[in-house]
Structure formats: structure tokens, C-alpha cells
Amino acid sequence: MIKKTIVSLLIFMLFSLQGSYAQTAKAAGKQAAIQDKVRALLEKMTPEEKVGQMTQVAIDLIMKDGGNQEIDEEKLRRAIVEKKVGSILNVKWTAYSLDKWHEIITRIQEVATRETPNKIPVLYGIDAIHGANYILEGTVFPHNIGMAASRNDELVEKAAHIAAIQTRASGIRWNFDPVLGVGRQPLWPRFEETFGEDPLLAGNMGSAAVRGYEGDGLGAPTAVASCIKHYLAYSVPNTGKDRTPAYFPEIMVRELLLPPFRQAAEAGSSSVMINSGELNGVPLHASHYWLTEVLRGELGFKGLAVSDWEDVIRLHTRHRVADSPKEAVRMAVMAGIDMSMVPNNYSFYDYLLELLKEGQVPMARIDEAAGRILTLKMELGLFDNPFPEVEAIARFENDSYAATALEAARESLTLLKNRAAVLPLPKDSKILLAGPGANNLGSLHGSWSFTWLGREERLYPESTLTIKEALEKKLNGGKLICRAVPDYHAYENYDALQLQEDARQADYIILCLGEEAYAESPGTITDLSLDPRQLNLAQAAILAGKPVILVLAEGRPRILSPVEPGMDAVLLAGRPGSRGAEAIADVLFGDYNPNGILPFSYPRRTGDFTLYDHKFTETVTEPHTGPNGNHGYDPQWPFGLGLSYTTFEYGDIRLSSTTLRPEGKITATIAVRNTGQRDGKVAVDLYTRDLYASITPPQQRLRAYRKVMVPAGKSVEVSFTITPGMLSFVNSGLKRVTEPGGFEVMIGDKKAGFTYEE
């Protein structure tokens, strides 16, 4: 019997290997055929056509003037026929309906494939970064910062796949997502687009998004090309202002910022967008070292490299490393930029043609860049059918999409405080709902939501609920008092005297504070302190003498220390998306048990951004009295915190061995017991600590995580595999190494020790 089992297993493994080899060989053959076609096409193309492929313009350049949303035929032909533009992006002002997208894409491709010599289709790109946020009927998910709170990679992949399906159905096949910047500067106005302060979260979840976008194969009607961004160090500007300098030593760049891009490149992302700012004095758009030597040479990235908005010319106008616009073009192209997001003129095209004719940019570099662009177009099936596909359109609507958006919103919500178990609330309560976020949709969605800033309330679908509307649906026999209006800055939303008067009739106060929607530079701030008007409203709520539940709809952590002690409960909503209000209501009234945990350290003070993986000496105080030096890590709420309506207890960590060797592994197992009265999901984080190293080690580093459901009164075992690579770090020679020595593994309040021996 045992022999039969072994033989059967060997036969199964043999056939599996054969199948895998056949699939690999088939993919390699398909790629070789595409490269043959690309080479043949390049031989037929003129220099003008090749340079045109490298030129990307905004849709505004082909539309009629003013607020008109119609294509201008003369402008369209100038772009496609005269300037031979290879790519178009964006919307003009607002999102379009699915039918409007079909009209736009169809007309662009008609001109490209009927009126140009080689009938090369246009590659259209869009920022669908948290769902199909530029299609009026599209599904919108939480921003990445909320998805990271879910600790659910599968959910990230699922959401990205839905975004791919709906984006492809519009006729668009290139999506500028995921954002892989590690959110270690909370002032940064794009913090909400990050997966938080840890590189593992960014790498795992970014790779999950890449699989969601591209996993079906780029030619499938359910896939789009992903674009990992913004390479490199965009998310850590020193001042916190958008598109400004980052001063980050290379050892830390390689330790913290580069790994997510390496991981996503290995996952097969088709394109990369470059950081608008500079790193250690060198604009990324001009850095041959980072764009070619590291990205291509070390990471092995094969895809298309596109600039960000207007960033080639800004090497001259802003960064001032190029003494002319023409020199800016030369620097960017020779550094490794394949396509310039120009976006509002044809200067890149004109300058690059001149540089080519003058010999300042060799034809080989042009062929390389144009070849990458043509390769992606062929992989996407644009040469076979550049128009909106019937098969894709048929998949645009599905009830499961909204259900997934609700699931994602629920899992993103993070309960930070629940004094005396004030939550969940009884549904027959008398509730006062107040604050600027109570009746506002933009604050639930954030940037890139039907408009760039996400503030146009009228553009949100009628089915999208505000918190006020969601609570009204949820209350059963209760009463809701709410005077909040949609305008975030309206006086009614900050009337402290009216709040105190209304509170007399209420059992509870739900206060909705945080931030209005913003994007990029319009979201720049110089202080994380909460708006004084909101602080005043919070103080008034506290003085009213009723339990106060704070709901935070915000893209980054605003300082709450002046009012936090007076809050009975705090629910961090982040930017939960189109089903966010319903998810918030579900949690507040106990129809859903919260299970999100923080993907960042929520600061207590504006001048202290100490992160969870700080060095020992960052938190040492004098006189030094503790073994771990954690006195100075004093956030309002620490990385990994998240409460539940039940309680969990961790057993001891069991290690399969206390010695790890170079080719070996250790399994860490822990029992998680639900000691409460209701079922609950729990996110289990595994951390390690290197006790001593050749450079100062961090106090801890997240190495793995898993979300599990634990029924009330039951216990679930969770196992993790620890490998030598997980313990590696970048040493003083800029090499990634795993050094022998002692380590600790930590899960919850438990820890265990082991050694690594070579």
C-alpha cells in the first residue's frame, strides 16, 4: 500500500512538472513570437513614429476647448497622425460613463489604426488606484492604507481583479497602480495611497495587486497592465510636501524602499512609473544609476518605464539639473525613461527628434524604448483588437463586486479604542451624529474618486451612502439627530453650541472628524494637528456629558491627543470607499466584528514620528532603565493595534527547531483562542528581532501575517515558516546578508528564541 502511494505520488509529480514545463515553454514561445513581430515592425517604422510611441499626452490635448467633453477631430489627428502619439491618459475634469469611454476609446483607435502608416494602436492609461474610480458606474474600494489594515493579501488581489475587469470593459488596458512607496512620512499627502510604514506590507500587497491586474494574462478580457509606482523614494520627502526632495541613505533605501519594487517586479508587473522628486540630490528622472543599473540590472525589470506628469521637462524648470528643455529630454531618455507623460504639448516629441538627428541620443536607445512600448501593446492584444471588447463589457456588472467592496471596507476599519465596551451601540438608541464627515461622501473616498481631488459630491453614484444615510437605515426604533450638510467646510458642521443643545436629546454622540478629500499637492500640510474647528467641536462633544464615539475618515493620522482622553471609542475608517458608510454602520451597531489593525504608528505628537521598527537608540532615555529601550516609542496607537468585540489569547510559540541553517527553515506555531462571546477574525502578525548585528538592528521587523477566523470559545493554530532570507538585512557594504547569531520571534505578547548558524 505504501509503495503504491509513493508510486502514485511520483507519477503525479512527474505529470505536474511536465505540465509546468509545457506552460513555461508555451509562454516563452509566445514571447519570442512577440519580439519577432516587434523587431519587424521597428524596421518598418520611421524615426518620427518611434519617437511618437514614446510620447504620452493627456486627453485634454485632443478634446474641444473649455468644459466640452467631446473629441476635437482636428486635435485628435494632430496628435495621432501628425505627432504619432503612442499613448493618451487621464480624464478631462471628471469621470466618464462606460458608454462615454467606449465612444472616446473607439474614436481614438479608429484614427490610429486607419489613418497611420503602420496602424499602431494607442495605449490608453488611467489612475484606477482603488477600483474603477474614473468610471461613473465603477466600483470603488478602500485606499491602500485601509487595505493594509485588513492584513488580507487575497482581498487586495480580489479588489484589483475587479478593478481590472471594469477598467478593461471601458476600453482602457493600462492602469497606473499599485503604489509601492512605503508610508514613513505621515505628512505626505499621498499617504493614503500607501500600504503603510512597513516594506513587507507594501511588497506583499503590491504584488497581490499586480496578480489581480495581470494574473489572467494581459491578452485576457479580464486583465490590464499594472504600473508599479513611484520608483523610488517618492513617499519619504523630508518636508512631507509632495514632489519634494528625499534624503535617505542608500543603505536604508535598499533596506526599506527598494524591496517592494523588487518583489512586484518578480511578480511580473508590466510597467513602472518614476518618482517626481529627487533622492539625495539627484532627480530620479535623471538617474541612470537607479533607472538602469539598479532597476534593469539588479531587479531584472523588463517592462516599460514611464515618467510622471510633466516630470521630464521639470528637470529644467524645477530641478534645474538641465540647462534647457531639450537637455532635460536627453537626460531623461538616456537615464532610462521610455515614455514621457508630457502631457499638454508636443515638446518632448520635437526635442527628441532633434536629439536623434544630432546624434545626442542613439537610435539604439530609441529602438529599445519604442520596442518596450510595442511589446506591451502586443501583449495586451491591442494589435488584434484595439477597441472595447464585447467579452470585457459583458463582465462589467456583477453583484459580487459591491459585495467585495463591502467586505474590503469592513476589514479595513480599525477599532482603536472602546472604553467600557461602549460599542456596539443598541439599535434603539437616540444618537446625535455630528461633524464635517457625517454627511459627506468625499471624505469616505479620498483622492482619485470620480475626480482627481474626490470632492465633487454630485458625481458620486446615487447608491453611495453617507454615514448619515447608512445610520438612518440601520436604526431600528431609534432616533438620529443630524444637522450635518455635504459641504465639508459649512458652518453647520462645526456649530458647537448647536451640538451641545442637540446632545440633551441623545444617548450617544457619534462625531465624524478627520480630513476632506484631497490629492497630491492640494493636500499639502505643515502640521498633523487636527483642524482647530474640529478640535473645538470635539471639546464641545466631550463637555456635553454623553458617551462620544469618534469616527475618523482621514487619509493620514491627524493628532488627537488634545481630545482623545475624552473619547469613549475611536474607529479609524480611513478612506473606505463606495461601501464605507455601510461598513461603518455595521461596526458601530455590532452587525460586523471589527478586525483591522494599524499598518502604521499613529503619532501622539506632531514632532515625534518614531516608527515601529525603530532602532534601540531612537527610544533610549537617560537614565536608561529598561532592556529594550522602548520608553520613547510612545505613539497614540502602535503599529499592529486593532480591537475587536471579542477577546483573543495567545498560547506559547512552539518552534520546530531552535537552530536555523542556511538551507533550512523553522516553523513557528501558535494557538489563538477566542475567549469572548462572539466569533471574530484576528490578524496575527509575526515579528523577529536580531539581537546583535554588524549594523544596529531594528527593535523588530514584521516578517509574516495571517488573518484567521476564530469561533467564540474555540482555538485555532496558526503556523509560519521562517527562512534565513526573512532575517536578512542590508549591511554597510550595501549587500543583503543573514548573519549568524541569536534571534527572537514575537507573536502577540509571546516570544521565543532561536539561533542562526552557518
Mapped onto helix, strand or coil, the DSSP state of residue 8 is helix
Is 198 a residue of the active site?
Answer: no
**Class for domain 413-588, per CATH?**
alpha beta
Mapped onto helix, strand or coil, the DSSP state of residue 56 is strand
- Residue length of the chain: 758
pLDDT tens digit string along 124-146? 999 999 999 999 999 999 999 99
Distance CA 742, CA 721 (A): 17
pLDDT tens digit string along 648-703? 999 999 999 999 999 999 999 999 999 999 999 999 999 999 999 999 999 999 99
DSSP result, 367-393: HHHHHHHHHHHHHTTTTT--SPPHHHH
Beta strands 123-126 and 174-175 are parallel
| 626-630 mean pLDDT | 55
Distance CA 307, CA 85 (A): 15
- Which of 177, 198, 308, 586 is catalytic? The answer is 308
pLDDT at 630 (0 to 100): 54
DSSP result, 674-710: E-SSS-EEEEEEEEEEESS-SSPPBS-EEEEEEEEEE
Phi, then psi, of 225 in degrees rounded to 5? -75, 130
- Chain center to CA of 204: 11
pLDDT at 368 (0 to 100): 99
| 170-177 mean pLDDT | 99
Mapped onto helix, strand or coil, the DSSP state of residue 175 is strand
Q: Contact, 412 vs 596, CB < 8 A?
A: yes
Which residues on neighbouring strands pair with residue 680, listed in sequence order? 710
Judge if 413-588 and 646-756 fold alike in CATH terms: no
With a cut of 90, say whether residue 18 has pLDDT above it.
no
With a cut of 90, say whether residue 14 has pLDDT above it.
no
Taking residue 383's Cβ as centre, other Cβ atoms within 10 Å add up to 17
Phi, then psi, of 63 in degrees rounded to 5? -100, 160
Looking at the chain, the whole-number percentage of residues with pLDDT higher than 70 is: 95
pLDDT at 21 (0 to 100): 59
Q: Which of left, alpha, beta for 50 (phi over 0: left; psi -120 to 50: alpha)?
A: alpha
- For 97-109+126-393, CATH gives 3.20.20.300
Which residues on neighbouring strands pair with residue 670, listed in sequence order? 718
With a cut of 80, say whether residue 233 has pLDDT above it.
yes
pLDDT tens digit string along 351-408? 999 999 999 999 999 999 999 999 999 999 999 999 999 999 999 999 999 999 999 9
**Class for domain 646-756, per CATH?**
mainly beta
Buried b (16+ CB within 10 A) or exposed e, 11-40: eeeeeeeeeeeeeeeeeeeeeeebeeebee
Q: Contact, 519 vs 151, CB < 8 A?
A: no
pLDDT at 538 (0 to 100): 99
Q: Contact, 680 vs 640, CB < 8 A?
A: no
Q: Contact, 377 vs 383, CB < 8 A?
A: yes
Distance CA 492, CA 545 (A): 21
| 273-296 mean pLDDT | 99
Which residues on neighbouring strands pair with residue 96, listed in sequence order? 135
Could you state, in order of their start, the residue ranges of all structural domains in the chain?
Answer: 1-38, 97-109+126-393, 413-588, 646-756
Sheet holding 227-231, edge to edge: 227-231, 271-274, 304-306
Question: Considering the chain, what is the average pLDDT of its residues?
Answer: 96
Listed residue (591, 587, 540) closest to 566, CA to CA: 540
Burial of 182 (0-12, 13-18, 19+ CB in 10 A): buried
- Chain center to CA of 438: 25
pLDDT at 353 (0 to 100): 99
